[in-house]
Structure 1
């Protein structure tokens, strides 16, 4: 008879309080049943579930019940296990509608493609007994880029002249990483500022979470590009600026044409707030505005314009 979770934990995790020992799961289909103290067995490895993962967005915790933070009982290493969860929803960008779909097998394909490339999170896929593709992810040793920016306590002018040039250099490299995916006819699928980490050891930026794909008939990689646009707006502004957050005297000089096509209350014409922003950089931001007539179709075009903007910064 195979050992129970209690017996397994007593032997391989003697520091774990056995009173919290749960069940051993080899089928992860019903992921809501799997929680703290349970063990997920995949091939010859056992993973102790410590908690459900959660994303913190807009000041709120958003639990992800299909993502388990675990300890591998054989190695002692920490991993995230992403279990199979399907969903689909529409996203509106101006007058365009994009269908987004969660695809575990697409993420597995990306993990295979980027193996050994530290511009992307690393992991592998191991099927459970019901052939669900469970992704075993290495925890990125780093901090979210947006949290590092939001933690800064300095005037925007000092940030823009002293820190932003290096940040832009690294962000251009991160855009080139996305371009590398696109050249291989793959998409990131869920580019957001909380999906870009700064590695502790090298300072290099690292993309996480590849399990969304999208159907954007107007532009095959368009949603990835709009995501990159949202991040560069955040980085240039040293945070998010909205019509509601700016002082009344600045608000009077702004219109809907100065705002984002994806988030109509977010200001992208940041030169109106910070006049020292070079025109070349502000022109990139305005390609993501409500008044834009032409959008980026290829990451190479965005990278080219970002390089030109970087030259305008000097240094």
Structure 2
């Protein structure tokens, strides 16, 4: 096998066009320069870069040039490779202010911690020749939670009484997964609707992307809690419910700033005002994430306890309880 990228690629992919072959990369520091046709040589394997990945932000595609989709040439397996990238920013939720930063080493620790736990993405970390932490991740084939919810047909009332009980049980399982991280003194760091995937075939709910960390001394897990709360509001409402959506409703004037979510003031937390059949106990949990609330859950463990109590006491969840005895 030769030392040029094409020589390596053609050994495994004889029909790959020579003009598209790039270079062999052993130092991934300059990730912006690594592109289609390059071969990342690391950990005794060769990974052909096929594209840069992106994620959705406010309806737009946001390129992530440090995240590459690759094909492991030795096996033909498609994988995701995350290269070292650092950024810092500040975040404010209500009166909570925190600095946040991206930490590849933190994600590497979590990948070791959750190895074999299919509630999370799976992967391993390999160091390149400059000791950059390169994370090699298995691809999860599935659908982001908000997209799955958006594809559900029918009224919200139909959704709430048929599909929601199963979704709520799966959500509790996902929250327990975050509790596991916290018990091991790790934050997820970037809990969002598009970081919780419903895997095709298994229907498992799986968390991805663990490289953000934030520095809150009083409660280092508070932002994870607010992220879980935002997903709960989405799940109960089936989609994001905004104050603007009430403009044509008769009870629009009854919506106040206190009914909105603390983390996202444009999103309704008092979902019972839109859908009166939402049980009080479930709506009360949602209201813990509203601007009105002054007493927040102190931990994910406390949040899980409230969710379990609601799930086990409400008649709407009767059928789901038989399918999810662990809940």
* TM-score w.r.t. length of structure 1: 0.97
**What whole-Å deviation, never above 9, does each CA across 1:150-184 have from its counterpart, x for those lacking one?**
11121000000000000000000000010011111
Report the CA distance between 1:98 and its aligned residue. 1.3
Aligned Cα RMSD in Å? 1.2
Please say if residues 2 and 8 of structure 2, whose CA atoms lie closer than 8 Å, have aligned partners that are also in contact: no
> Where in structure 2 are there 5+ consecutive unaligned residues?
319-327
Q: After the TM superposition, which residues 164-183 of structure 1 pair with which residues of structure 2 at under 5 Å, given as runs?
A: 164-183=164-183
* Aligned counterparts, 1:109-258, within 5 A: 109-248=109-248, 249-258=250-259
- Whether contact under 8 Å (1:189, 1:213) holds in the other structure is yes
Q: Which residue of 1 aligns with 2:269?
A: 268
Aligned counterparts of 1:3 and 1:134: Cα–Cα separation in 2: 22
Matched residues in 1 for 2:14 and 2:117: separation? 35
Aligned to 1:35: 35
8 A Cα contact 1:233 1:285, kept in partner: yes
Q: Paired residue for 2:317?
A: 314
Q: 217-226 vs 255-264, which deviates more?
A: 217-226
In the alignment, the residues of structure 2 paired with residue 14 and residue 292 of structure 1 have an alpha-carbon distance, to the nearest angstrom, of: 63
Distance 1:15 1:280 in 2: 61
- Kindly state the Cα deviation for residue 2 of structure 1 after the two structures are TM-superposed: 4.9
Superposed counterparts of 1:7-156, under 5 Å: 7-156=7-156
2:279 paired residue number: 278
Query: What is the DSSP-based 3-state SS (H/G/I as helix, E as strand, rest coil) of the residue aligned with 1:252?
Result: helix
C-alpha separation between the residues in 2 aligned to 1:162 and 1:298? Answer: 30
Deviation at 1:252, TM superposition (A): 1.2
CA contact (8 A) 1:278 1:309 kept: no
Deviations along 1:126-149, one digit per CA (max 9) or x if unpaired, are 000000000000001222121110
Decide whether the 8 Å contact of 1:128 with 1:134 is kept in 2. yes
Q: Give yes or no for contact 1:9–1:18 (8 Å, CA) kept in 2.
A: no
For 1:69 and 1:121, the matched residues in 2 are separated by 15
| Number of residue-to-residue matches in the alignment | 315
How far off its partner does 1:21 sit? 0.6
**TM-score of the aligned structures, taking structure 2 as reference length:** 0.94
